Structure 1
Amino acid sequence: MPVSQTLLAFDYGTRSIGVAVGQTATGSASALTELRARDGIPNWDQIQQLLEEWQPNLVLVGLPLNMDGSESDFCKRARKFANRIHGRFGHAVEMVDERLSSFEAKEEHLAGGGSTHYRDDPVDAIAARIILETWLGSEV
């Protein structure tokens, strides 16, 4: 593994896809943006722009497992999204258990004074950052 890796993480959803960036050297992660999606289909040009801008060594995609660790119905869609990133752009992609990331993101958002109108706020980008932090924590 290189001394320092740049990571790009996605919290996949049918209406919105959260994006975060992180570094293995510093163990840090930051929420970046949210991309709009139509029934889970993003604007692939926006994905390409992010990949070109950040040049990640690895792309992470949240895997929405059930609380008991079994695969949810939505896991298939998240895997398809990950496979498309790999197929279209040639980036290595890993799936990351994202259980409770959206719950944690909403709690963090509200604690920071954010509104409960999540459509107007960056909760999915915060969830992507939490997914990235989960991966960083598992690599220690």
Structure 2
Amino acid sequence: MRILALDVGDKRIGVAVSDAMGWTAQGLQTLEKSSKDKLFSSLRSILEQYNPEKVVIGLPVNMNGTLGPQAEKVKQFAQELKDIYSGEIVYWDERLTTVSAHRLMIDGGVRRTRRKQKADKVAAVLILQSYLDFLNNKKKEG
């Protein structure tokens, strides 16, 4: 049962995948959004390789709980993703994941130039791990 996570930004998309047991998230890569064809070709390859049960997409919710323009862009991207992926798509509140990703990398001694390249992938890992923890806690309760 693999789950894929995407952190969709204006310029890049961070990609993470769960282990087969659905316990841990690993960062895969960061995709550039320079060409739509190239982006969706890369996503198609990732989907074919990992065959995820579902895709979790980080939804940028405002601090007051409302959805802003960036959330609408993410939802539009998810609609386009449905052209190449027929499984379940789940939106997951990603508030502050990019901030947390940068903080983790600063604490880890990652240089500023490298942080920008890695932030989206690390944010995707944080989104996915949060979702996996939610699922696993739900199983324990039920």
TM beyond 0.5? yes
Distance 2:20 2:68 in 1: 29
Shift of 1:30: 0.6
Q: 46, 56, 62: which one pairs with 1:60? A: 56
Q: Which residue of 1 aligns with 2:28?
A: 32
Q: Which amino acid aligns with 2:8?
A: Y
Q: Which residue of 1 aligns with 2:101?
A: 105
**Superposition map of 1:39-118 within 5 A:** 41=36, 43-117=39-113, 118=115
Shift of 1:88: 2.6
Q: Which amino acid aligns with 1:82?
A: A
Shift of 1:86: 2.0
Shift of 1:25: 2.3
Q: Which runs of 4+ in 1 moved over 6 A?
A: none
Q: 85, 107, 123: which one pairs with 1:127? A: 123
Gaps of 5+ in 2: 138-142
Superposition CA RMSD, Å = 1.6
Gaps of 5+ in 1: none
Structure with more of its chain in helix, by fraction: 2
TM (norm. structure 2) is: 0.87
State the secondary structure of the residue aligned to 2:82.
Answer: helix
Q: Which residue of 1 aligns with 2:140?
A: none
Q: Which amino acid aligns with 2:42?
A: Q
TM (norm. structure 1) is: 0.88
